[in-house]
Each structure stands twice: as structure tokens, then as C-alpha cells.
């Protein structure tokens, strides 16, 4: 705890002062352009990863970057997304998974979270991911299987996003874009799902979508 308190003092002295004008403007209201949905894992920091300033990202985090489909639950995810899309008018939504995801490991091996009933229940919202992996990636194991699971889960959650009324409405208007990313912790690389080729590709090769189209499954598990 002392480390965090010292960090606050350092923030106030070194970080806040140069951005004082920005924070004064932010006190009047927020206008983020991007909703960033990612895992609660302590190893991923959306603002550090994107070098975003305060006010740039509206962030939603939970175990496994999961978005329950419309009508599947009463959690805060749907409310947060609705506020970002309908009230704040974000233009882009990023669903970002990451390597070595403990939630996806638990999805693959339910016995590892058997003593965590709340976690087990939450992971049921990723059941489609588990089934897709079971039916299509039986030839993989270890890290390659986990990578495939992380990637497929990002695609499943993008599909779930499309079921939310506020998102569906904005997609129909053509002024909202969805993006699927995977962050590789050990290298700092980010891979984005490219609709044109149906694969996760290095972010530098990613082509910004001109319009939304149905998700097409990737066919390999290598990134």
C-alpha cells in the first residue's frame, strides 16, 4: 500500500502539473472516441499500451474480456457499453485479449476453477469459445491451444457485442467500428483481426475496416 501512496504523491508532483490544463477541461466532461474492453489481468495496461492520455479511452475490464450477449445477464458490462455507445458516442470499440490469460486457461480446464464458483459461473458466458476450440483445435495443446482460445474468444465477444441493441443500432448507422486485438505480454506485440484475410495479423499490417461485416473464423493458431 505504501508504494501506491508514494505513487500518488509522485503523480501529483510530476504528472499532474504538466497536464493541469487537460485535467481542468476533463473536469467539465468526457469525450472519449474509443471503448477499450480488456481483461482484468494486472499485466495489461490499456493506457500504457496505447500511450493514451486521460480522457482518450473509456475502459471496461473483467476476467477474460467477456461480453455477455443481450439478455444473458444483468452485470455492468451491458450498461457500460450502452453508456459509451449511446451517451458518449464512441466511434470505435476494441476487444483486446492477451497471451497467458488465466481466464481462458480456466475455460480450457474447468477443474482449475472448480473451487471458484463465481469465476466458473462467469466463464459460462464464454461457452461458445470453449465449444469452438474443442471442435476445431483438437490437434493443438499447451501454449498454442491457449493462443487459439484467446483469439477465438475475442471473436466470440465481438459477436456478442453485436447483439447489444445500442451497438447494433450504431453499426446499422455505419458510424461505429469494432476491432479485435490480442496483446502478447512477453514481446509487447499487438495483433489485430483482419476481416479481409480472416486472420490475426501484426497491427502494422491491419487494414482499418471500411464497414462492418460478419466475423470470419481464422484457420490457424500461430501468431
- Could you tell me if 149 and 108 lie in one domain? yes
pLDDT digits (tens, 9 = 90+) for 133-163: 999 998 999 999 999 999 999 999 999 999 9
- Could you tell me if 22 and 118 lie in one domain? no
- Could you tell me if 75 and 3 lie in one domain? no
Report yes or no on 216 lying in a domain: no
**Whether 98 is catalytic:** yes
CATH code at position 169: 3.40.1050.10
In sequence order, what are the residues at sequence separation of 6 or more whose Cβ sits closer than 8 angstroms to the Cβ of residue 102?
41, 63
Is 195 within 8 Å of 214 (Cβ atoms)?
Answer: no
- Could you tell me if 26 and 60 lie in one domain? no
Output the DSSP codes for 151-186. HHHHHHHHHHHHHSHHHHHHHHHT--EEEEEEEETT
pLDDT digits (tens, 9 = 90+) for 97-129: 999 999 999 999 999 999 999 999 999 999 999
Report yes or no on 223 lying in a domain: no
Report yes or no on 145 lying in a domain: yes
User: Which residues span the domain enclosing 4?
Assistant: 1-30
Q: What is the DSSP letter of 53?
A: P
- Could you tell me if 59 and 140 lie in one domain? yes
| Residue of 9, 92, 98, 144 marked catalytic | 98
| Residue of 9, 17, 43, 125 marked catalytic | 43
**Whether 39 is catalytic:** yes
Report yes or no on 10 lying in a domain: yes
- As separate numbers, helices (DSSP H) first and strands (DSSP E) second, the chain gives 9, 6
- Could you tell me if 11 and 113 lie in one domain? no
- Could you tell me if 138 and 196 lie in one domain? yes
Domain count within the chain? 2
| Residue of 39, 96, 125, 130 marked catalytic | 39
**Whether 101 is catalytic:** yes
Is 105 within 8 Å of 111 (Cβ atoms)?
Answer: no
| Residue of 101, 170, 194, 218 marked catalytic | 101
Choice between 151 and 209, residue whose per-residue pLDDT is larger:
151
Amino acid at each position: 500500500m505504501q508504494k501506491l501512496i508514494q505513487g500518488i504523491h509522485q503523480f501529483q508532483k510530476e504528472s499532474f502539473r504538466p497536464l493541469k490544463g487537460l485535467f481542468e477541461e476533463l473536469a467539465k466532461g468526457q469525450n472519449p472516441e474509443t471503448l477499450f474492453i480488456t481483461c482484468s489481468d494486472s499485466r495489461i495496461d490499456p493506457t500504457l499500451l496505447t500511450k493514451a492520455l486521460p480522457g482518450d479511452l473509456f475502459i471496461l475490464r473483467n476476467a477474460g474480456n467477456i461480453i455477455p450477449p443481450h439478455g444473458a445477464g444483468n452485470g455492468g458490462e451491458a450498461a457500460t457499453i450502452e453508456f459509451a455507445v449511446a451517451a458518449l458516442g464512441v466511434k470505435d470499440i476494441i476487444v483486446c485479449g492477451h497471451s497467458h490469460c488465466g481466464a481462458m486457461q480456466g475455460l480450457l480446464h474447468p477443474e482449475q476453477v472448480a473451487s471458484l464458483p463465481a469465476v466458473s459461473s462467469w466463464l459460462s458466458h464464454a461457452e461458445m469459445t470453449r465449444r469452438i476450440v474443442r471442435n476445431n483445435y483438437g490437434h493443438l495443446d499447451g501454449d498454442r491451444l491457449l493462443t487459439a482460445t484467446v483469439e477465438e474468444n475475442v471473436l466470440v465477444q465481438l459477436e456478442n457485442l453485436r447483439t447489444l441493441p445500442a451497438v447494433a443500432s450504431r453499426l446499422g448507422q455505419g458510424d461505429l467500428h469494432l476491432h479485435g486485438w490480442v496483446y502478447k505480454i512477453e514481446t509487447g506485440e499487438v495483433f489485430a483481426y483482419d476481416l479481409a484475410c480472416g486472420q490475426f495479423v501484426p497491427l502494422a499490417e491491419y487494414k482499418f475496416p471500411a464497414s462492418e461485416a460478419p466475423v470470419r473464423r481464422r484457420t490457424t493458431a500461430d501468431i
